[in-house]
Structure 1
């Protein structure tokens, strides 16, 4: 929807209540569909103002300061800054008078309290604007009543209301009167040309606390009387606990208890993979160090409950699937079989990706204090409502008995969508009847992960008379029934005979969403494949994509999720800004474009070859995410996504042997290093469209752009990630 539609009907149901505070001031509640979590320190001590503690409200003090409570989790994607900016823009209040606070889980007053899918700004855009604009109009109406003039003759700007005579009142001067007025049914939203705050660079509201080490994260939460728990889980997927000796663990100074747990979670069996781990041992202690030391002293006996899988097994099973015929058809246009039979040439390629862990900077942790009356939960979680509902079911508590507070997260990337660590903390606390925080070590984090599944894609295309006439994409993945490919993204609609098929291999390995689910590897496979098709047809890669996109413009196919025109504009911007086709001497360029999470992205990578290994020097990224609320935060998101995409495409690899990961810390798991991060040059398409997500879309094209640059440099096409495996093997072969 175009943002120029600046007059929207505002339902009273979007406002919860308007209340005059006892000491003065106004509370305006709103239904924030996808919120953020916020905190910006105004130049006054807000604790001395007339603010009371409420969730999900705008609060305005007599002094004109505004507090915005936002319920959604913050995982570093910047919504804690950008979402309050939207309200402040329409409210028309100076940013230095805004304080942002974190709301608790409140399923009655909020929808979609989730951090995932890069959807917060997209879903919250209209509701947030309406909230700010309605509040502003109520303040204007109150000032007009005070002056005895028509509200239409008054205007508000930067926290000050002015009438036709030039008289002025601050928001704080009329806040009490405004609290008693009716909520207007129809409010006028600003034209984007009038924006003063949106589109400006604004620092992360938490940055000062982050850089000075103030307690913001779950790992910082330490209420008085809290104990710590370190959990021993099965050493491999497919093993179960037989017995254990805890005598040495209990002898460790600080250890207060050792318990066996996991039975409660059986209530949720077969709902999600991690729930099958029902046999665990928790060492409870007065400190993290004592708990982890006690766990190391545990002596446990495990036995094989079922076949222990290895990476070689996965590879064989996925290839069997690709070579077989049992697939689910996700989309089929035309007649692919006929197109292939009539083709001048058919090109077919197979692409492989490994499991990947999430490796959040802050390992998993959560606090729980389970009593008969209430379950008090605190910590970093992307899905607070889901976690609370699971606690409610497992422990037979009413929803109102679950009090969940969200902290800032030191990374999520999809791992914190799965609240297994929340359930662990709750069950341990319930068993010992004391408040406890479960703490993962790095090894726990990697060995008990919910991984990105290993996947193989097979793509085939038919060429006839210089055109692509048929396209068949097949996916074989580990546990892919929930995380398979997207059939209605590019090139759906661009090729007349088009088919997408999926199949999966059920595994005991716990798999789930990983940053840019579905597309984080698929973009590499598809875009390197289209580079090969472009070479075969004697065409420039970006130009081939633009030609194909003409077929989807003006389509009436409602299944198509991307925009042909917006993708074309994004491609052209990347080509222009990267000086495509004119790389500096000694450098080689590669191109990739992809649509994901409602955002169109095109990237050009420049590499140099050093000692036979590609070195990424620069990536130019063009992004169409609609209106950019906070350019500074948006640029940071794209840069981070690109670097993350480069790092995992080049180096990320988690292999398994007999059900256990071969790497459980960074000594064996390769991440991108500081000196390997390239310059990232980010450009945004300016089109006035409503904003879309940015936390994930920058990642998928990065791997394809690098692989295509490698092809330009060496003539070798990459078919497997991580790329470094190919170059290491080549170097070892040369060295003998």
Structure 2
């Protein structure tokens, strides 16, 4: 079934008074005469009420061109705010030599035959699809040139292209892509095409507005919560706390409430189904459920005990061992030891979990925000006992995800309810559901030890990651591995009923803070500048590597050196003429390298973060605007969660369930973020996550310099060292 999105959220399909109070607001995705196509620059391509343009002629899975010259580019990967719906089409349009003002971008549905890796996660979309996208655009461009050459009866080698035209300079002729589209699509698809030289890029590397900007600003329904289908029911679920099982519920009383059509129990959950979100929410609040507590319930106090036991465990899993660690520490002139700890964290996307499902006799239709549409399809097919091909998945824009929407649990809940009630269902999680229903960033405690010789050289390094539901809480091949002669990295994990999962920059989101803060502690003990200390280690890893070196030393040094230059490391002075207090951090994750310098000033006796310099090496920058937003967003996210985020438990029950008791960063707490990119011309690497991991340490190390207090636990505001100076 084809669906388009109405022009404005003001175009309500239903504004009806619901029995018992409240409103039912619905937004349609059916075909509508009022639909508007808007180019990335805001140009209206089809005004309201105007006849739609002629159908496009398809060239490949990614693009079509209609006779009016409008180029439609499909963006197959889920848009979670990382800008992929803009970046993918830019790459295609670049190689096509398209006129960007005539490009219309559409979100492609799940189609595993036409596309590969329709996933938003791991900062892997661009690295995976870079060459594929370029070839898609270049192939269509060559076919257009061949069609023009055939019409003009000239060699194709004499033809060139520019902004949507094929040119024959010798005869001063040109034809638009729209003029050539139909006959070009009949040209045999070339087996080999030449891609542009980087110096000829016209779109890639520029600042281009997000293609959804106009829709977002004007309130056009784009997100999963906007989706509405006439006749659908609404559902909400009450889930148990961790370590509890369902026993009974007052279902008869709930079914008697206005607008409620059913109360279901499944998989330890209680679902309320009804005719409007307001009625269902009221009924959900009226549920009286009896739960049975099991021995699996845990509290935050239990976790602290568990960490201590895991760190003392004699048989942890060895992840990497180089040299003779025991001998290095035995003969050390100085040993530095520290422990760092982080709590569980919810993902807290602006848009809570939601999904639409319609299970029918011959298949199922899914619509909503998911980072892994193929997983949603396959899990649905498995549950229903049907072939995956009988499940369709239409993607909506996501109001955040940060890894939470990599899972399909909320999709399957919608499917289960739709099957049980034999109707289309929109499942909606409340904010409280979203924060208390999992899954969380794993809680971890790290213990570090470093051995120094008499000259301040690090000759031994030990790291143990003690975690709850993280599996391996280390990244054993990351820096400084390869730069230390004697190294031991191991891990121990506790299995808990508290569900965990990927959280933006999995594991490294906290590990980087711990590692980079500890390296500053070691540099201080060695009497060396923190930046110089790291550069010396990198030089050693290059000259005399110890074991495998699985990071690019030159790329890491490049971001370090540019960070030193842009921040004026160690030399910059403030308006008062005094040296600026700075903290440094650098990290490699998701194939990219980011160095950061945080600046802290003491204002009225309290430390205040004023600026962060963020230097990224992600290869070729596709969209300057989107890329800067990603680095800035990662940095702000990293600051906010390092400073404030905390999720605690009491007898398996989350103690924070909404923003009144879960702290996020506030607008007036966001510092100036200055972003720079290393221009090395290599193929693009990840960018949706790599700028978050180093942020905590850049801030923490700056706070230490300003106050003399070392922060070793997150959130900072609850660390005794931070409390003593704030």
Q: TM-score, normalised by structure 2?
A: 0.91
Residue of structure 1 aligned with 2:125, choices 111, 114, 120: 120
Partner-residue secondary structure (3-state), 2:56: coil
Find out whether 1:427 has 2:442 as its counterpart.
no
Q: Structure 1 CA distance, aligned partners of 2:95 and 2:138? A: 5
The alpha carbon displacement at 1:695 in A equals 1.1
Contact conserved, 1:617 with 1:678, CA < 8 A, in 2? yes
Structure 2 match to 1:237: 242
Q: Structure 2 CA distance, aligned partners of 1:97 and 1:641? A: 32
Structure 1 residues 311 and 143 mapped into 2: Cα distance closer, same or farther (>3 Å)? same
Q: Structure 2 CA distance, aligned partners of 1:356 and 1:712? A: 27
Find out whether 1:59 has 2:64 as its counterpart.
yes
Find out whether 1:567 has 2:568 as its counterpart.
no
Contact conserved, 1:462 with 1:468, CA < 8 A, in 2? yes
Structure 1 match to 2:35: none
Contact conserved, 1:130 with 1:189, CA < 8 A, in 2? yes
The alpha carbon displacement at 1:247 in A equals 3.1
Q: Tell which deviates more after alignment, 669-678 or 121-130.
A: 121-130
Structure 2 match to 1:47: 52
Structure 1 match to 2:463: 473
Partner-residue secondary structure (3-state), 2:379: helix
Give a deviation string over 1:218-261, Cα, whole Å, max 9, x none. 00000111111010111x20011111112332232221111112
The alpha carbon displacement at 1:193 in A equals 0.6
Structure 2 match to 1:373: 362
Contact conserved, 1:612 with 1:727, CA < 8 A, in 2? no
Q: Structure 1 CA distance, aligned partners of 2:722 and 2:76? A: 49
Contact conserved, 1:352 with 1:457, CA < 8 A, in 2? yes
Residue of structure 2 aligned with 1:688, choices 681, 686, 707: 681
The alpha carbon displacement at 1:279 in A equals 1.0
Q: Structure 1 CA distance, aligned partners of 2:123 and 2:229? A: 32
Structure 2 match to 1:447: 436
Contact conserved, 2:91 with 2:204, CA < 8 A, in 1? yes
Partner-residue secondary structure (3-state), 2:417: helix
Q: Structure 1 CA distance, aligned partners of 2:364 and 2:307? A: 43
Residue of structure 2 aligned with 1:77, choices 66, 77, 82: 82
Contact conserved, 1:590 with 1:712, CA < 8 A, in 2? yes
Structure 1 match to 2:214: 208
Structure 1 match to 2:160: 155
Structure 2 match to 1:655: 648
Structure 2 match to 1:346: 335
Contact conserved, 1:480 with 1:503, CA < 8 A, in 2? no
Structure 1 residues 500 and 251 mapped into 2: Cα distance closer, same or farther (>3 Å)? same
Contact conserved, 2:483 with 2:546, CA < 8 A, in 1? no
Contact conserved, 2:621 with 2:627, CA < 8 A, in 1? yes
Q: Structure 2 CA distance, aligned partners of 1:325 and 1:730? A: 35
Residue of structure 1 aligned with 2:590, choices 585, 597, 612: 597
Find out whether 1:401 has 2:406 as its counterpart.
no
Structure 1 residues 54 and 455 mapped into 2: Cα distance closer, same or farther (>3 Å)? farther
Contact conserved, 1:627 with 1:686, CA < 8 A, in 2? yes
Structure 1 match to 2:114: 109
Contact conserved, 1:42 with 1:99, CA < 8 A, in 2? no
Q: Structure 1 CA distance, aligned partners of 2:712 and 2:652? A: 26
Q: Structure 2 CA distance, aligned partners of 1:101 and 1:368? A: 22
The alpha carbon displacement at 1:145 in A equals 1.3
Residue of structure 1 aligned with 2:193, choices 172, 187, 192: 187
Structure 1 match to 2:17: none
Q: Tell which deviates more after alignment, 548-557 or 345-354.
A: 548-557
Partner-residue secondary structure (3-state), 1:553: helix
Partner-residue secondary structure (3-state), 1:72: coil
Structure 1 residues 706 and 293 mapped into 2: Cα distance closer, same or farther (>3 Å)? same
Structure 1 match to 2:138: 133
Structure 2 match to 1:29: none
Contact conserved, 1:39 with 1:102, CA < 8 A, in 2? no
The alpha carbon displacement at 1:424 in A equals 0.3
- Give 1:200-279 correspondences, 5 Å limit: 200-234=206-240, 236-261=241-266, 278-279=267-268
The alpha carbon displacement at 1:555 in A equals 7.9
The alpha carbon displacement at 1:554 in A equals 7.2
Structure 1 residues 142 and 557 mapped into 2: Cα distance closer, same or farther (>3 Å)? farther
The alpha carbon displacement at 1:400 in A equals 1.0
Residue of structure 1 aligned with 2:624, choices 627, 631, 653: 631
Q: Structure 2 CA distance, aligned partners of 1:187 and 1:290? A: 58
Q: Structure 2 CA distance, aligned partners of 1:658 and 1:259? A: 26
What's the RMSD between the two structures over aligned residues? 1.9
Structure 2 match to 1:14: none
Q: Structure 2 CA distance, aligned partners of 1:690 and 1:221? A: 37
- Which sections of structure 1, spanning at least 5 residues, go unmatched? 1-37, 262-277
The alpha carbon displacement at 1:365 in A equals 0.3
The alpha carbon displacement at 1:166 in A equals 2.2
Partner-residue secondary structure (3-state), 1:318: helix
Structure 1 residues 634 and 241 mapped into 2: Cα distance closer, same or farther (>3 Å)? same
Structure 2 match to 1:360: 349
Contact conserved, 1:553 with 1:563, CA < 8 A, in 2? no
Give a deviation string over 1:495-521, Cα, whole Å, max 9, x none. 122221111001000001101102000
The alpha carbon displacement at 1:107 in A equals 1.6
Q: Tell which deviates more after alignment, 48-57 or 640-649.
A: 48-57
The alpha carbon displacement at 1:322 in A equals 0.6
- Give 1:450-599 correspondences, 5 Å limit: 450-464=439-453, 465-481=455-471, 484-553=473-542, 559-581=548-570, 582-584=572-574, 585=576, 587-599=580-592
Contact conserved, 1:200 with 1:629, CA < 8 A, in 2? yes
Q: Structure 2 CA distance, aligned partners of 1:248 and 1:697? A: 51
Q: Structure 1 CA distance, aligned partners of 2:429 and 2:204? A: 39
Structure 1 match to 2:288: 299
Residue of structure 2 aligned with 1:670, choices 653, 663, 680: 663
The alpha carbon displacement at 1:72 in A equals 0.8
The alpha carbon displacement at 1:300 in A equals 1.1
Aligned residues: 678
Q: Structure 2 CA distance, aligned partners of 1:55 and 1:294? A: 49
Contact conserved, 1:55 with 1:104, CA < 8 A, in 2? no
Find out whether 1:620 has 2:613 as its counterpart.
yes
Partner-residue secondary structure (3-state), 1:458: strand
Partner-residue secondary structure (3-state), 1:700: coil
Q: TM-score, normalised by structure 1?
A: 0.89
- Which sections of structure 2, spanning at least 5 residues, go unmatched? 1-37
Partner-residue secondary structure (3-state), 2:699: helix
Q: Structure 2 CA distance, aligned partners of 1:250 and 1:654? A: 34
The alpha carbon displacement at 1:47 in A equals 2.6
Q: Structure 1 CA distance, aligned partners of 2:60 and 2:365? A: 16
The alpha carbon displacement at 1:387 in A equals 1.4
User: Following superposition, which runs of at least 4 residues in structure 1 exceed 6 angstroms of deviation?
Assistant: 52-55, 554-558
- Give 1:409-420 correspondences, 5 Å limit: 409-420=398-409
Structure 1 residues 153 and 416 mapped into 2: Cα distance closer, same or farther (>3 Å)? same
